Structure 1
Amino acid sequence: MKKDLNQAAIVLKLLGDKTRLTMMKILDFHDCCVCEFVEIFKMSQPSISQHLRKLRDVGLVKEERRGQWIFYSMNKENHYYEFIQPLLEQLPSQNYQIERLEKDGKRIVCC
C-alpha cells in the first residue's frame, strides 16, 4: 500500500531524533515502561513521556496499562510499521540496554 507523503515525512522526522529512534529499536523487541527509559537514557520522566507521546500520537507505539503502570510497545499493526521496519533492521541491536537493566536489577522496577 502506498504511503501518504506528508505522513511519511512526519514519521521520518520523528525518527530523526536519536532518542526516539533508539526507543523504537528497543520497542521492536521489548515492552518498556517510562521508568525503564528514564534509566536507559538518563533523562527526566517528563522528557521520556514527551518522546513517547509523539510516537504514540502517530500510532507507532501503543500503550497498555498494567496495574498503575503504563507499558509501551511497538504498534506492529500500524501501516507505517512496514515502512520503518527495514530501517530498524539496519540499526545495531539495543538488547544490551535491557540486559544492563536486568543485571542492575532495574528491569521493570516500577512493577
Structure 2
Amino acid sequence: MLPVFALKYPFIAIYGLSVDLQQTSLLLRLLADPTRMRLLALLEQEELTVAEIAAALRLAQPRVSTHLAKLREAGLVRDRRAGVSVYYRADSGHAPQRDALL
C-alpha cells in the first residue's frame, strides 16, 4: 500500500523528471534483486538469447526466463524474434528514470 503522500501526489519530480510513484516503486522492487541487476547490466551491453544469458550469469534457463518476464512486463527489457531464437536487450526508454533513481 502506498503512503498517503503518494495517494495525494501521485507524481513527483526527481532530478527534473516527472515520476509516477507507483511505477517508481515497482521499478525499485525489480532492481532490488541482484540477479535482475546483473541481467539488466548484461543486456545493456549486447543483445542475447536466454541460453547465452544463462551461460554468462551461470544460472538455470528457467530462472533467467522468470527474471526476463518480470523485466519485460515492466518495460525494462525488449525481445526480438529471429527464426526460432528470441533475443533480449535492455530498453533504453527507462534509462533516464532508472539512472536518476539509482
User: Would the TM-score normalized by the shorter structure come out above 0.5?
Assistant: yes
> Please, what TM-score do these two structures have when normalized by structure 1?
0.71
Match of 1:26 in 2: 42
Rg larger in structure: 2
Please say if 1:15 is aligned against 2:31: yes
Q: CA separation in 1, counterparts of 2:58 and 2:40?
A: 17
Q: CA separation in 1, counterparts of 2:68 and 2:61?
A: 10
**SS of residue paired to 2:92:** coil
Q: CA separation in 1, counterparts of 2:41 and 2:18?
A: 24
Number of aligned pairs? Answer: 85
Q: Which amino acid aligns with 1:18?
A: P
Q: CA separation in 2, counterparts of 1:59 and 1:31?
A: 16
Deviations 1:40-97 (A, max 9, x none): 22221111000000000010010000110100011113xx32111354xxxxxxxxxx
Quick one: percent identity of the two aligned structures?
32
Report the structure, 1 or 2, having the larger strand content. 2
**SS of residue paired to 1:47:** helix
Q: Which has the higher contact order (CA 8 A, sep 6+)?
A: 1
Query: 5+ residue gaps in structure 2?
Result: 1-16
4+ residue runs over 3 A deviation = none
